[in-house]
Amino acid sequence: MDYNYLVAGVARAFELASVGILVFGAVLATALFLYRLMQQWLFPAAYHAYRADLGRAILLGLELLVIADIIGTVAIEPTFQNLGVLAVIVAIRTLLSFALELEVSGRWPWQRGASGEAPPTSAAPSRH
């Protein structure tokens, strides 16, 4: 088996996993949103939780896409042009990840709670 073929297959597997996570995450987040509405959550709280759930799915999908890009670029054709394109792609996806993290948790990734753990990201149910 050819090395480039194997590495390209691994990169493609990460890309497919990313798409699967994005689709599954969107479907699951939508199902949870509808469930929360049926549980008498107020719409704004259910909507906020829905956006947070979608953001988490997108973040995980983006991370896997970065892995696929790194594998595909560095292992197969590490030219300066390809590495430059990879750097731009990773920079854009990193900025998107930071923006999504801020949207989901309300804090930047480096802002942790006093205990060193990330703050909780799910909205508490409002049933009034």
Rounded Cα gap, residues 21 and 56, in angstroms: 10
Q: Are 104 and 122 in contact (CB under 8 A)?
A: no
Residue that is written with structure tokens 């479907």 in the block: 27
pTM assigned to the model: 0.70
Distance of CA 4 to the CA centre of its chain: 27
Question: Which pLDDT score, from 0 to 100, does residue 1 have?
Answer: 64
Q: What is the pLDDT along the chain (128 residues), one digit of tens a residue?
A: 688 788 888 889 999 999 999 999 999 999 999 999 999 899 999 998 998 899 889 889 988 988 888 888 877 777 888 888 888 888 888 888 788 777 777 777 677 665 555 545 444 554 44
Integer angstrom CA distances of residue 68 from 6, 14, 62: 13, 5, 10
Backbone angles phi, psi at 110, to 5 degrees: -85, -5
Rounded Cα gap, residues 108 and 87, in angstroms: 22
Question: Which pLDDT score, from 0 to 100, does residue 107 have?
Answer: 73
